């Protein structure tokens, strides 16, 4: 790894850049997350307060299916309130309390699309936004899919399941309606695993 700024030879991993949390307190709780005020000491000893969003980990699954036109992804289309527009993305969501990552991925696939997977493989994990969020997202590949014809959507979920050619997703990622950054990350993990 090359450095833009020279690093100290006695600190090759950059730990000298770490802040130390001195205290924290929850300042607000909401349906799917809470906000915590984290008082941290800088590497130079200065105290600053940062807002951190605490929420459970998420899982997102890349469901692959073979069609007459070739390889395709099972995706979902839904309204995203933050962006105020429709988004086509891979199925995913918040892990339930005590739920294993792989179980959550399989559950989200079944609930949102009606598909169950014969095999589920971990692709990787990341921090969705490490600047302000404390959670992780876990990415999975789902193969050998079977359609059950039964979905289990929450009362506020209005979701349409789609089968989209893989080439279309690759070509249009980053343009509406493929606007979800975590779907782009999942696609990158998929391409790394299945070049």
Q: From the candidates 103, 125, 143, 155, which is the catalytic residue?
A: 155
Distances in Å between the Cα of 106 and the Cα atoms of 31, 56, 121, 142, 152 are 23, 17, 10, 8, 13
Give the Cα separation of 3 and 193 in Å (integer): 28
Structure tokens at 136: 């992780």
Sequence-distant (≥ 6) Cβ neighbours of residue 112 within 8 angstroms: 76, 91, 93, 151, 153, 157, 159, 161
Q: Does residue 66 carry a catalytic annotation? A: no
Q: Which residues are catalytic?
A: 155
């Amino acid at each position: 790894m090359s450095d833009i700024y020279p690093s100290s030879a006695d600190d090759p991993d950059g730990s000298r850049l770490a802040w130390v949390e001195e205290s924290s307190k929850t300042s607000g709780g909401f349906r799917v997350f809470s906000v915590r005020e984290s008082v941290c000491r800088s590497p130079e000893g200065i105290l600053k307060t940062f807002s951190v969003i605490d929420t459970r980990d998420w899982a997102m699954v890349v469901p692959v299916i073979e069609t007459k036109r070739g390889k395709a992804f099972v995706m979902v289309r839904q309204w995203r309130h933050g962006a105020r527009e429709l988004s086509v993305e891979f199925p995913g969501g918040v892990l339930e309390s005590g739920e294993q990552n792989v179980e959550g991925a399989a559950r989200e696939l079944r609930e949102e699309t009606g598909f169950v997977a014969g095999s589920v493989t971990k692709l990787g994990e990341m921090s969705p936004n490490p600047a302000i969020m404390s959670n992780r997202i876990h990415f999975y590949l789902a193969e050998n899919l079977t359609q059950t014809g039964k979905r289990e959507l929450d009362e506020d979920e209005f979701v349409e399941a789609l089968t989209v050619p893989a080439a279309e997703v690759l070509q249009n990622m980053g343009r509406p309606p493929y606007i979800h950054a975590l779907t782009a990350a999942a696609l990158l993990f998929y391409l790394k695993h299945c070049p």
